[in-house]
Amino acid sequence: MTGRLFVLSGPSGSGKSTIIARVLDTLDIDFSVSVTTRQPRPGETNGLHYWFISRIDFQNMVGAGQLLEWAEYNDNLYGTPARPIDSANAIGRDILLDIEIQGARQVRANRPSAVMIFIAPPSIEVLEQRLRGRGDTSDEDIAERLLIANEQLKAASELFDFVVVNDHLDGAVDEVTTLITGAI
């Protein structure tokens, strides 16, 4: 039996990381740890949240064809190593990815059987409140993220199989869990 690939994407501040953490606590599914060139945020652990690597190392991975997808977001590079996903799927393990929309487009093109789920905020205003509530994002970064979020929201219904509005966290977690278990 071949494992399935599930992609979760959504704007920064949509709650996807919280939803993913709760889904991983509930389901027997593996999480793909992405590589990134950005600096760790407080509390993030190398190898658990991301693999934090240099820009040169990242570019070498791209050149060697080692990434299923990759994208540049906010002047940082993010990507998904292909080998761990292929190895896990080959032995029947399901994998969950947390990626940006640029990467989701690549996954859709390269793995059309992937189940694509977009996490949307209830509104741009709520998204802005969430970003400001983090306390670690500058006004300039918030403005940029809101512009990106508007573009992501416009593309969501065409690129993704499902759009889950995170207006109530428990409901959003339940909906994502149901989508994953229904697809397995």
Query: Distances in Å between the alpha carbon of 61 and those of 56, 64, 97?
Result: 9, 5, 18
User: Which residues in the chain show pLDDT less than 70?
Assistant: 1, 183-184
Structure confidence at residue 100 (pLDDT): 85
Structure confidence at residue 176 (pLDDT): 97
What is this structure's pTM? 0.86
Structure confidence at residue 36 (pLDDT): 97
